[in-house]
Amino acid sequence: MKIIADENIPFVREAFSTLGDVSTLAGRAMTPASIQEADVLLVRSVTRVGKELLSGSKVKFVATATIGFDHVDVEYLQLQEIGFASAPGCNSNSVAEYVLSALMVVSERKGFSPQHKTVGIVGCGNVGSKVRSKLRVLGVTSLVNDPPLKDQTHDSSFVDLEELFTADIITLHVPLERAGRYPTLQMVNAGFLTKMKPGSMLINTSRGQVVDEQALLKTLQSGRMAAVLDVWQNEPSIDCRILERVELATPHIAGYSYDGKVRGTEMIYETACKFFGVTPTWRLTDHLPATPIRQRKFLDSVNDEEVIRASIFGSYDIRQDDAHLRQILNMPEAERGAYFDRLRKTYPIRREFPSHEIVISKPRRELAEKLRGIGFSVRLGI
């Protein structure tokens, strides 16, 4: 069996070599000619998969090692009887941790306590639900808007957009839907932005096309609100006018924790094994280092909020990714797209909160519960 895989899928050779011969390519370099003889195609979000790529190929199974699959024409795969798998939820914890890191940076810069703000969450699936859970642990009020889920569950706790606009921060966790009852393509348009509170902030870690970037640019130029962006229209050729004006900017890496990426590999591998009737022999736990991998100790002189902030930054400090991306502003336009992709390809290993042990004194049990609640390993021992 011949397998073609995106070179950025971790352990793809180790896992899928149990099924056949594995060759890797850059995701943007996948062409009809390069995948024509493949039986299995494994991609990430940068590769568009549909008739144009697959017509005339031998591909029997396609998988994307990502939560979203708007880059895959699933209907075409079904018509061609080609198997398909994605990795729902694989990096949801990573994205939720990204949102917390962004919140901590902005609160520190602007001098407010997160507990004094209300966060509006659009989309309460794998990612949004984790964001809500972590915010609740930290004592941050959240409002959740998810019309499709409200229709399914009849949960009265979901709010409409009008109530959502009372939030100080709105974070987007929706799939890209171009049609249907609840389309999300350019959902955040001029009207949406106008209704957000003056001085509020938008966080987008979903898909770049969910936001009308021209409308966002005008809003940012007016100084009416702020934004944190991880995803962009026209990646890797992002709009540097927007980059210059956002509070924090990163190159589509919110879900790029090492844990999440390896988890995604395991999920699509297991589905592929099931599709071809093979018993899985590769396991994620054999490839993740033992935890905890890092330990941080805090004295009682450090207050609770600062312990939480420092713990989050010690695990993931979004400011580093922001600084790396902003270097693009000093480059010739022709080099920017390649640099954006290089930041993703060479992204350093980033472990999730459970890989970090926080050590505090025994009397600080309430703080310990908060730290555990957002995912850290905690030891009462000073």
Q: Any idea which residue has 């306590």 for tokens? A: 113
Distances (CA, A) of 252 to 20, 63, 256: 31, 20, 8
Locus of tokens 């395991």: 266
Helix or strand holding residue 228 (H, E):
strand 226-229
Asked if the bond preceding 114 is cis, omega within 30° of 0, the reply is no
CA distance 140 to 130: 13
Q: Residues 71, 132, 173, 207: which is the catalytic one?
A: 207
**Active-site annotation holds for 207:** yes
- Is 287 one of the catalytic residues? no
Which residue in 177, 235, 270, 305 is the catalytic one?
A: 235
Catalytic status, residue 235: yes
Query: 229 Cβ partners below 8 Å, 6+ apart?
Result: 203, 204, 208, 211, 242, 246, 248, 249, 250
Task: Report how far residue 225's alpha carbon sits from residue 180's, in angstroms, rounded to the nearest whole number.
Answer: 30
Query: E strand or H helix at 354, and its extent?
Result: none
H-assigned helices in 303-364: 304-315, 318-326, 333-345
Residue 32: Cβ within 10 Å count: 12
Structure tokens at 363: 């009397």
The tokens for 70 are 């708007």
Catalytic residue among 44, 71, 132, 252: 252
- Tell me if the bond preceding 198 is cis, omega within 30° of 0: no
Q: Is 41 helix (H, G, I), strand (E, B) or coil?
A: strand
Hey, which residues are catalytic here?
207, 235, 252
